[in-house]
Amino acid sequence: MTNPDDWADAQETESVSVDGNELEMAYYDEGEGDPVVLLHGIPTWSFLWRDVADALSDERRVIVPDMVGYGNSSMRDEFDRSIRAQEQAVADLLDGLGLDTVSFVGHDLGGGVGLRYAVHRPDAVDRLVLSNAVAYDAWPVEPIVNLGLPSTAKEKSVGDVQELLDGMFRESLASDDPSDEFVEGMKAPWNSEEGVVSLVRNAAATNTNHTTEIDPSEVTADTLLLWGADDEFQPISSAERLDGDIESSRVVGIDGANHWVVEDSPDRYTEELRQFLLAEEAE
């Protein structure tokens, strides 16, 4: 599914609670079998996973949420968008869907959510995949810090933010000629005044304390650290540190892939992911 409008049309919504705030969480839900959750980061949305979701849905039930404040989930002000809050929202979504146990795949900020979820709910995670994930104190990175300044929402127009995001995505993809489908699709949720304010709030909510308070050695799920090896934002050394702390884990670095590893190397990424998830069924 290559069109963000078609992806949005295929999404469902569920009410979730974050600190007593009732919010709408949009999610894509396709396929049958053991459930796997795919969670995006910042400044992306569930459309990031379009090709991976399609490839996995023949064998698994694939659930792809938009974090609150992102994509087609609630964007209004007056709620927390931090990793802690996103963990709470995802947990409420999965509880509402009646899913006791899932495999959890997280990229970037979504990886930080997955790490917290796996530590706090060890019996609820079969397998954990972290890809170029935020962890420890290696974030937030400078472009996100700048994006979260209150002056960004007050002084920059929608067009300014679209131009900023265009450069951010194009410069951090491995290809010299990146896909317009990806870049335009990732920018789509932020192409309004409401979207700009929500994106700034999301960036401002990045909080190092929400990863430094987590001890990765408490992860009990088999873990794959599936990483774009050329990432400058979340370098592979972070994956290697996680590998040293998580008892049952291994690192797979994908050469030639930058931070957006899902887009930079979709075939290799999907195949490594499939093999890891299906190995569970062979045991």
Using one digit for the tens of pLDDT, what is the confidence trace for 148-198? 998 998 999 999 999 999 999 999 999 988 889 999 999 999 999 999 999
> Is residue 9 scored above 80 in pLDDT?
yes
**Per-residue pLDDT at 278:** 87
Residue 278 to residue 283: CA distance in whole angstroms: 9
Mean pLDDT of the chain: 95
CA Rg value for the chain:
17
The pLDDT value given to residue 267: 96
Enumerate the H helices of 156-192 as residue ranges. 158-171, 180-187
125-131: strand order across its sheet? 12-18, 21-30, 61-65, 35-39, 102-107, 125-131, 222-228, 249-254
**Rounded Cα–Cα distance for residues 68 and 27 (Å):** 11
Q: Work out the number of other CB atoms within 10 angstroms of the CB of residue 136.
A: 16
| Domain range list for the chain | 4-140+208-282
Report whether pLDDT(107) > 60.
yes
Q: Which two tokens stand for residue 214?
A: 């987590």
In angstroms, the Cα distances linking 65 to 11, 88, 158 are: 9, 13, 25
CATH number of 4-140+208-282: 3.40.50.1820
SS3 label, residue 214 = coil
Query: 175-211 burial string, b = 16+ CB within 10 Å, else e?
Result: eeebeeebbebbbbbbeeeebbbbbbbbbbbbbeebb
The Cα-based distances of 192 to 71, 75, 161, 188 in angstroms read 12, 11, 10, 9
- Over residues 13-42, the mean pLDDT reads 97
Q: pLDDT tens, 192-224? A: 999 999 999 999 999 999 999 999 999 999 999
Beta carbons within 8 Å of 137's beta carbon, 6+ residues apart = 208, 211, 212
Residue 238: is it exposed, middle or buried by C-beta count within 10 angstroms (0-12/13-18/19+)?
A: buried
> Which pTM value belongs to this model?
0.96
Q: Which whole number is the average pLDDT over 15-21?
A: 95
- pLDDT at 1 > cutoff 70: no
Structure tokens at 36: 């796997």
Query: In this predicted structure, what is the pLDDT of residue 281?
Result: 54
CA distance 179 to 30: 25
The CA-atom distances, in angstroms, between 3 and each of 10, 48, 75, 139, 178 are 11, 11, 21, 31, 16
SS3 label, residue 140: coil
Asked if 169 and 182 count as a contact pair (C-beta separation under 8 A), the reply is yes
**Where does the pLDDT of residue 280 fall: very low under 50, low under 70, confident under 90, or very high at 90 and above?**
low
- Which tens digit of pLDDT belongs to each residue from 218-263? 999 999 999 999 999 999 999 999 999 999 999 999 999 999 999 9
Spatial contact of 243 and 228, defined as CB atoms under 8 Å apart = no
pLDDT digits (tens, 9 = 90+) for 40-70: 999 999 999 999 999 999 999 999 999 999 9
What whole-number distance in Å separates Cα of residue 56 and Cα of residue 44? 20
Q: Residue 15: its pLDDT value, please?
A: 98
